Structure 1
Amino acid sequence: MFFIRTAGKQDLEKISALLAETWHDTYDRIYGPDKVADITAAWHSVEALKTQLARPGSEFIVADDGERIGGVAFAAMADAKAKTVMLHQLYVRPGCQGQGTGAMLLAEIVEAFPDASTLRIEVEPANEKAVSFYEAKGFEKVGETSDCGVTGNKSGIPAAIYERPLP
């Protein structure tokens, strides 16, 4: 049984490893193992995760069972004026999927931003598991991007943009 807690510096190596494992499991068939390795080295390195951990107006959480981290989520205010939160990461270790861990992480993210009105996420359209998960949680497709995961730079990774109103 996992419980949700705030991520700390002591978790970053385990989170980085979880993200690499999850990305390879999900995206090797879509992008190929070499591109996935490059992405995880850039986006999911301990140094990149340290930046996330220190970001103001964000929530960085893990699902922990006392022995391992089974999932991770990171979200931050994308537009304070529009009250929009961007869910940058929500990943569950492949062997832990389908057990409600993703739903627990998502619920905690929603609770962490009580003044927000919209939750947004970018999803690779070929990631059918993720698309199904988010649609089942009330997200609707509102657009597309050709540069997933970056702000002001070009990743060249396409994604569908989904949003969900918050209570």
Structure 2
Amino acid sequence: MDELTIRTTTEDDWREVRALRLAMLEDTPIAYGEHRADAEQYDEDEWRSRGRRGQAPGSTSLVAIDASGEWVGMMNGYVPDATTGPLLVGVYVAPGHRGRDAGVADALLDAVERWAAGHGTTLRLHVHEDNPRALAFYERRGFVRTGHTEPYGLDPTRSEIEMVEQLDGASPA
């Protein structure tokens, strides 16, 4: 793995947050709950708000930055409520940085897991049924299917699969 910095986002990162989110929506539109055309319309305040998620209580927004300063990946987590525990959302790694050898997805997920362990004993996610690359990554990392699905928000004829991972050394929230 090349030199990589994993850190939380801040409000001042709004331009990079915007650029990476638009790239995410272009690359894998089924993986996220919004359309690129809608995201392109958001103003600076919305993007600043998204950048602040990295510092907000009950949430995290982590980015992977390569040695050249390029943002090459992102993962987010938040706690929707105390009964469900942390939820992994907004997962993306740029095409040239994917794969086990690159290590970007693993490094980001390691960081999200450390954050999540402070908020619960499990980490949950929902992944589109037509995203085999993501399903394989999550299964390799120890996530298991719960048997629950929910309609995909942008196309209710498709489903998102719920998966959960037991966090090592997690303390109850």
TM-score, normalising length: structure 2 = 0.76
- Give the aligned partner of residue 8 of structure 1: 10
5+ residue gaps, structure 1, are: 149-153
Aligned length: 155
Matched, 1:113 2:125: no
Change (3 A) 1:140 1:80: same
* TM-aligned CA distance change 1:15 to 1:46, over 3 Å: farther
- Is contact 2:6–2:108 with CA below 8 Å preserved after alignment? yes
Assess if the C-alpha contact under 8 Å between 1:124 and 1:160 holds in 2.
yes
The 4+ residue runs of structure 1 with deviation greater than 6 A are none
User: In the superposition, relative to structure 1, how do residues 121 and 42 fare at CA in structure 2: closer, same or farther (>3 Å)?
Assistant: farther
SS of alignment partner, residue 146 of structure 1: strand
Task: State the alpha-carbon separation in 2 of the partners of residues 58 and 96 from structure 1.
Answer: 25
Which residue number in structure 2 is paired with residue 71 of structure 1? Answer: 73
1:21, distance to aligned residue in structure 2 (A): 1.6
The aligned residue for residue 129 of structure 1 is: 133
Give deviations 1:99-138, integer Å, cap 9, x for gaps. Answer: 1101111110111133411111111111111111111111
SS for the counterpart of 2:28 is: helix
Q: Say which of 122, 146, 150 aligns to 1:145.
A: 150
> Offset at 1:51?
4.5
**2:107 corresponding residue in structure 1:** 104
- What is the root-mean-square deviation of aligned Cα atoms in Å? 2.7
Query: Which one has a larger percent helix, Structure 1 or Structure 2?
Result: 1
Instruction: Summarize deviations over 1:64-94 as a string: whole Å, max 9, x none.
Output: 1251111111101123245x10111221112
Structure 1 segment 14-93 matched on structure 2, within 5 A: 14-27=16-29, 36-38=35-37, 40-41=39-40, 47=46, 50-51=49-50, 53-54=52-53, 55-66=56-67, 67-82=69-84, 84-93=85-94
Relative to the length of structure 1, the TM-score reads 0.78
Residue 151 (structure 1) aligns with? none
Once residues 132 and 26 of structure 2 are traced to their aligned partners in structure 1, the CA distance between those partners, rounded to angstroms, is 15
| Identical residues among aligned pairs (%) | 26
**2:12–2:48: 8 Å Cα contact kept in structure 1?**
no
Partner Cα separation in structure 2 for residue 42 and residue 144 of structure 1: 30
Partners of 1:70 and 1:92 within 8 A in 2: yes
Unaligned runs of at least 5 residues, structure 2: 169-173
Please name the residue that 1:160 is paired with: 161
